[in-house]
Structure 1
Amino acid sequence: MVRGNIESASCGKGNLKTSAPLRSSDRRKLKQRIESTFGLSSEDGDILVPDGILSLKFSTHLNEPGVAYLSPEGDPIWFTVGRGSDELIPTIYTLWKKQEILPFLSTPAAVIPVLVGGADLMIPGVVHHTPSLVEGQLVAIRQYTRENESDVLSPSLAVGRMALPSDQLRDGGKEKGKAVYVVHTWKDRLWEMGSKPDVPEGSTLDQRDDGNENAIEGAKPATPPPKSQALSYTPQETTNLLLKSLLQAISTTVSSLPPSSFPIPSTLLYTNHILPSRPAFPTLVLPPSALPPTTAEEEEEEENKPHIDPSELSIKSSNHKSLTSFLKSAEKQGLLTLKSPPKHSNSPDILITSINGSHPLVADHQAYVTVGDLEKTAAKRAKKEEREKEEEKRGRGEVGVRELWKPHLGSLDLFEGLGGSKTALYTLPEIKTLLNTYIASKNLVNQNDQAYINLDDLLYSCVSSKTKGSSKPSKAGGGGGEEEAAPMMKFMKRDELTGRVTEKMQSWYEVRVEGREVVRKKGPLKPIQVTIKVRQGRKASTLIVGFEPFLVVEAEEMAEELRRVCAGSTSVSPIAGKPAGSGVEVLVQGKQAKAVTEYLVGKGIPKNWIQVSGK
């Protein structure tokens, strides 16, 4: 799917190239192309192809090349995708500036989250469309709602290509199928690259956008209602649809509730079960009586029926006017049983004590796509995108950890003699470089065995000096007596020399996390300890300590995530046997070393800084 390619390309770290400003000549050519293709004036061209426009090359997950053009502020305004394709596609940002450059279709509000979630626009989801659209034509998709007895269209919220000519949406079209192949939507990853402003206000069907005399006036419903009346349900039709919503709820969500969930307050049943069970496309479930007469052939064409926003289906719009009256009517039909709230209760809600899942109306009920179904799809998509963003954020690089050493006491003179600084922090490679340069300049490589370095007075003074806190001189590898160290040999291997020098220095460490200030602290950095312990017989648990210095892990957040991942209890407490302020330990029930390691690595902590024991 083309839109999926754009999404992955727009934010994939390895697929984006560095943006670069267009040369003046290239910008003029791009402006001329856009003015010619979309019939724009030179003034509009300057708005939609501004000075300072940037180009950004990308490749999709299918290795299709593409180019995105960004405004000087960083908003994506045009893009192309596909090998050999030079078709310029306007983004949502561009359409919000100049709505009329693309013809459009409208769709109910409930469909928009589905499109944002990655779906194409289906034929039954089309409410209005600009006439005379051809297959493959670029179109915008706008949201249709009813507000204050007026038909309202939002600004464009999606861009795509017509899957079929528009006359097939009205005359002899397929009963099912796709109307538009969606390429780009509001809130997708291409849109997320920009400034993400609020959606502008919509416009009513009986008004014209400034400078856009045909976009609304020329639009027409797939099956127009009579001009003398607005398309809506009668109170009885609304009552019938709410009853169907109750039947849908009983046959799905309510029937799966445990007995302990009853009694249910009426407002909870209505809010949590009936409203989400309303049909997403009500007119496909119950055509409104306000429709003009149709022929038998037209009645068979489901997609020709216009759509009413399911949010219009409410108790206040029904015959009953109150939820209590609606539920008492359902009780008379034997669908549920009710009882009044306790006298001492402050709640006026009547209570539903049971439902009749075997009622003939429930058994005969034909399931349909509900508002809740669309919301769940959109929520899953949003959660997936959030997870992908988090993974991408983590994938931008591991937590940067560097061990550092600073000249201290016995090593101060050495670093002065090596030509280094007494106050600088050094990495291990930098220390090796200083030592190797000094060794080469003083010709200290042992002639008999070049694996060894002869120690001159400067080197010998450093490595033989007392370590902080020790009353004995340092001993050569394996040498020395019990009471008093034997004199050191004045040669040692190169790596051993480096190790001896760092022993005489002060340990530091540095932690780098993208978007935060670099943290440098005195003292050695210890790996995170993940320890499996068996307590109370054979009951195992996993303890995690020492994660605080790595900056990216919070104890409570880790406990909550591991509770979900490991499906077991977790807790956070001070480290046992340590003074206050020494940090906390996170305990996870069971042997969960693998899950804990994967969680920490996923946060960006290098695996070599995670130490597992007790397995």
Structure 2
Amino acid sequence: MITRKLRADISAAFPSLSVEELNELVPNKEELNIVKIYAHKGDAVTLYVLHKNPIFFQLEKQLFPTVYTLWRCPNMLPAFTTWPPVLQKLSGGADLMLPGVVLSTSGLPEVNRGECCAVTLVMNRAPVAVGTAAMSSAEMRNSGMKGKGVNVLHTYMDQLWAFGDKTHPPVIPVTNSPTQVEGEEEGEECEEEEEEVKDSSENVAVETACQSLQELKLAENEVLKEESVEDKEGENIDGEEGDSRSPQEQMDELLLQCFLHALKTKVKKSELPLLTSTFLRNHMVSCCPRGKQLDIKKSSYKKLSKFLQIMQRDHSLLQVKELSKGVESIVDVDWRNPELCSFKIPEDCALEKEFEEGDGACEVEYQPPEITPLYGVTARLEPLFQDAHKKKGTSLKATEVRNIITEYVKKNELVNEINKNYVIINPTLCDCLLEKSEYQEVEMLKWDDLISRTLIRMQACHEVLFPGQPPVVKKGQMEPIDITVASRGSNKKVTVIKNLEAFGLDPAMVAEALQHQVQASCVLHDCPGAKNRVLVQIQGNQVQHVGKLLLDRYQIPRKYVQGLDKAPKPGKKK
């Protein structure tokens, strides 16, 4: 129902999309998640998330595509082109000013005021920002290309992009050259543009554009050379000289190469069953050689399901089953298959893998934080810590508190001479540690009682130390990860997990891991009453699986995982 409505809304908002493109963006049988968030200005935003990536967002009842969607359909919106250094300004929250717009030979795109549009960079048609036109194309021309051009809502490298899998823009060559790069009077045009930029108080045009003109022109020449080579070779997708195969045949070979590479080096038996969509997104795509792009629609198979069926039927490499309605998973892989055993990783992929590992680009294994309880000096106890130069608000470890109290007692000669297990109460200790009813009655305290009273009256704090990061001190005790089981309509059970962020865990990654592990629907929701917090909800009582994931895989100490007792008892239904 949700998918059908979203498809209708997208079709109405973006009529230029073909039925095939719409089916690719919002597949009928794929699970679509809806996440409601609040922007930093307080605006309510609805995200539509597919395969972890936000594909559309709705603001004030208007639908906008994300950069992830525009990279798959780059012609979906009219686009304004700007210089690469402008992207940093846009990502920082600035709007695109007209002096920073680079005109191509086809001129300005035709837009109306308030119309949804995209922003691209010189030499690449992959959009890097989405927004609304601040004025119509006619008004832009009449203004002499001065003023604001695009009200930017979302950019590559912003928080919405970071909500997804954080992939980088593909390289899509441009067909029209920017007019500023052509001609003999390039220096004069740059100087004029710089003057326009400096006159705008809110400009985001590039003052370094003139310095990079020569580099841009060289890059453009390289693109033109590559395009001419590809034309001569019949639009060869890999650019290899003398390859007479059709682009479809080459894509078939690339698809098979990535498939075998992924099975041999990426997929582990412990991951099975593995969603086919996840296998493509996380494993096959990462095995694609640099400079090439895996596109099943350009192969003879057209669909991943058909390709996997053939790999199962004709090659006996794997087994695919539909474990839930409309969702296929890889349930078994024959790692002894002669075709898989004889497959050798191409040299360019092997070199790239070594480079990524040496460069630290591979995924870093999660390491739990070190959590240390601390105690903050309060106003009441400040006189007791004055000699140690510890002011109000200072956070100390329990051992440090004990040493300071011990030093205070010895310095003021408060140890009872008859029984050294007791400490004499002086006026400072009386004010700091005794209740009013004890003022006239208590004259001495045992050492342990003295220390425990001190710690109880201090403010609870804790220090969180992640590997490779500076420690962070927070007030209060460390809030544990909370696992609860709740009932949703028709007495259906769901497991809810909260406070993953405090331990440096990405809720989306935890949700994906659980979804693979138990093959159940898993969604993310805003955590009520907590800003920038997300809770994970998974169908069924999955407390046992959640506990195993947190304790064994992520090594979270058991005392910081709350709700493990809610796991179903053996022999009972979940």
TM-score normalized by structure 1? Answer: 0.33
Greater C-alpha radius of gyration: 1
TM-score normalized by structure 2? Answer: 0.35
